Amino acid sequence: MRPRLEERVKEEWVPEKVCLKKIADLCEANKTVDGKLGSPVKGQKGKRSSHEQRVAFHEDIIVAIIGTVFKQQPEKPSILLELSEDNPMVPVVPKQKYISDKDYILMEDETTRVRLVALPGCGLVVDEIVNGLVCAVKGKPTIDGKFEVADVIWATPKPAPELKLKLPMEIEMIFVSGLMLGEPGSEESVFVDLLFQYLEGLAGSLKEQSCEIAHQTRVFFLGNSLWRRSNLLAESFSDDLIKNAKTLDSLLDDLSKTMEVFIMPGKNDPCETMMPQPAIHKCIMPKSSRRKSFHSLTNPTRLSMGFPAGQKLDMILNSGENVVDALRNSSLTCPLEMSRRILQWGHLCPTSPDTLPLYPGCSEDFFIINGTLPHIFAVGNQSKFDVIEWNLTKIVSVPEFSKTYSAVVLTKDLEFIELNFRAMLK
């Protein structure tokens, strides 16, 4: 992400004669007049050095630095703090938000770190950002060893290329998330049956069966397709999971006879929970996996869908855990706004591995948005359907089916509409 930011710094700030510096280039050893170490500046230590450092104060200097934002959050869960001898072993109460008025931010590069002080209107708001972001900031050192931020540049990819043509008449796509198949004590099974009957052309009006349903040639299941007990040690857990997986496999097998089926895992599905989640193994879906029209995807995933007219529709799909976790670390409450910020930041899971488990040993950052922004950014398992457009990207929140009984249809005009199955029964 640094090369992308360096290029943008040259484009936007070099005309203002802003020099790009490493943080260590702005630092000096924090020593008193007699040569002894003075009071250290907390959190600022040079690379391979035991000497505390501080940013040197220069009245007229305006520089740019690039690094990773570290957000200090006292309310953030810490296993070391929970197991500390100074704390009694009490049940941990889950928190809705990990933010407080004690939060502050630092920037860290490969040399050292410095505390940031955001000026009003600079675009860097402590409560609205999350830990782990990579950005460039412009400003000047302060007399107390901090860095005063006047402007910020995010590693935002370039906008998606504009789609000049509509999708072919025979193409429509439908997005479903949060089926939670097998959840006890709910009326969901009725609506799941209705959903699959509708997709197979066995439900709906004659017009829908002959015209609309025939056009839905691709369906995407965005995580949490299976229900899972919270108590994983329950004796019937394995039996329930096997039964629900067989039911889902049969449903998807029938569906893949008439259309392309894409499925990705969520936190409740029988799959590794650390991000990025691998595709659901074919042994869990033995019937469906035999068909070429069935596709098991990673979470998150990026797809380039080809169409007969030679068009390419670029999509990023995810089950929504990254958005939910980012909201916990921010004052923002709107999933769509957080999804927009994630695209703006250029990173799909900035809070991994801090508060969102990350699979170890990845050779490169799987979550960086390379190239351009996608045409569609679909976020699954949300509380309601909504859609916005930003930088030629349509951001859609796909509602959790087990609670809303709704799916989302992408029409040939590239418009998203909600399809509510509860309303069909009225």
Per residue in 223-235, pLDDT (tens digit) is 999 987 665 555 4
Kindly compute the dihedral angle of the four CA atoms of residues 209, 213, 214, 216, in this order, to the nearest 10 degrees: -170
**Range(s) of the chain covered by CATH 2.40.50.430:** 2-154
Cα 206 to Cα 215: distance, rounded to the nearest angstrom: 14
Write out the H or E segment, with its range, that includes residue 259: none
- pLDDT for residue 420: 92
Domain covering 172-424 assigned CATH 3.60.21.50 in the classification: yes
pLDDT at 280: 94
**So what's the pLDDT on residue 182?**
82
Regions in the chain scoring below 50 on pLDDT: 29-52, 235
Count other C-beta atoms under 10 Å from residue 217's C-beta: 15
- Segments of 22-146 assigned E as strands: 27-29, 53-55, 63-72, 104-108, 113-118, 134-141
Where does residue 146 rank: exposed (0-12), middle (13-18), buried (19+ CB within 10 A)?
Answer: buried
Tell me whether the omega of the peptide bond preceding residue 94 falls within 30 degrees of 0, making it cis.
Answer: no
pLDDT of residue 42: 45
**Intervals of CATH 3.60.21.50 along the chain:** 172-424
Tell me which H or E stretch contains 250.
Answer: helix 237-255
CATH code of the domain occupying 2-154: 2.40.50.430
